Structure 1
Amino acid sequence: MRVNESVHPPEVSHFHHRFEGWLGDELLEVFPCFLVSSALANALEETRLVGFSLRDVEVSTSPEFQELYPGRALPEFRWLKITGKDRDADFWLTPDSRLEVSSRTLGILRKFKIAHAVIEAPAG
């Protein structure tokens, strides 16, 4: 990752994620970034949601990953770059950098593997 750490959250200009392990989810948080499977990325694009862009991400696996999961292939991933600023978008970040999504987005996400995501009801 090429990171500008002089701002918070850090700004990332190039994203390379090396997997140490993977539990199978299609939405992953790798602070300050998010990854989505290509299948999920396609579904998000098709529904014309707003507040994000999709970028390429470089993915590799560690020797530990290869030892723990011999022969396991990862799906293709895309970098889900959050651009929404508030609830007028379908994706946005809270001041403490947590991802929030519209109910429409959540409906789409629930059709994919997100078993390890912490999903909280909206406040208020």
Structure 2
Amino acid sequence: MYKIIEPEVVGSLGKETELDNSVFPSHVKKLHYEFDGWLGDDILEFFPFYIVTYSLREALENNKFTGITFQEITISKSETFLELYPDRELPEFYWLKISGEAFKDDFFITQENILAISEKAYFVLQKYNINNANIEDLEG
């Protein structure tokens, strides 16, 4: 059993993102995520990228889930974020890189470009803040 998850989008690519546009889809050498807001979720999206908090990264690594790797990213707060949440601190985030094979690994991207997760991975994610993500059963 798999589920699809569409995490909250709270920002955009920052100016320090390094893209190689000579290939499609673009290859990203360095990811910079700029926050416009944040409601506290531990997994976030900015298509086609996913980022997770350090605590969720640890849980995913400890459970040895397949189809994912992690990479450091740069995060920043936009002017909007600073106006809305002048005192809010952001935790450490990591790029959740998805490389799994459909219906084989714990994490993979569907043909519709949506993140799919195994039931086992969903069980772990439920222990974290995913309140603003849309989650449905994946038919397949």
Q: TM (normalized to structure 1)?
A: 0.93
User: Could you tell me which of 93, 98, 120 is aligned with 2:109?
Assistant: 93
Task: Report the Cα distance in structure 1 between the residues aligned to 2:29 and 2:116, rounded to whole angstroms.
Answer: 22
State the identity as a percent: 38
User: Could you tell me which of 30, 41, 65 is aligned with 2:81?
Assistant: 65
Structure 2 alignment gaps of length 5 or more: 1-16
1:31 corresponds to: 47
Q: Does 1:118 align with 2:128?
A: no
C-alpha deviations, 1:16-73, integer Å up to 9, x for none? 0010111111100111110000000000000011100011010000111011001100
Structure with the bigger percentage of strand: 2
C-alpha deviations, 1:71-113, integer Å up to 9, x for none? 1001110100001021110000012210000000000011000
What number of residue pairs does the alignment pair up?
Answer: 123
Structure 1 alignment gaps of length 5 or more: none
RMSD: 1.2
Q: TM (normalized to structure 2)?
A: 0.83
RCO higher in structure (CA 8 A, sep ≥6): 2
Q: Does 1:7 align with 2:29?
A: no
1:46 corresponds to: 62
Task: State the 4+ residue runs in structure 1 displaced beyond 4 angstroms.
Answer: none
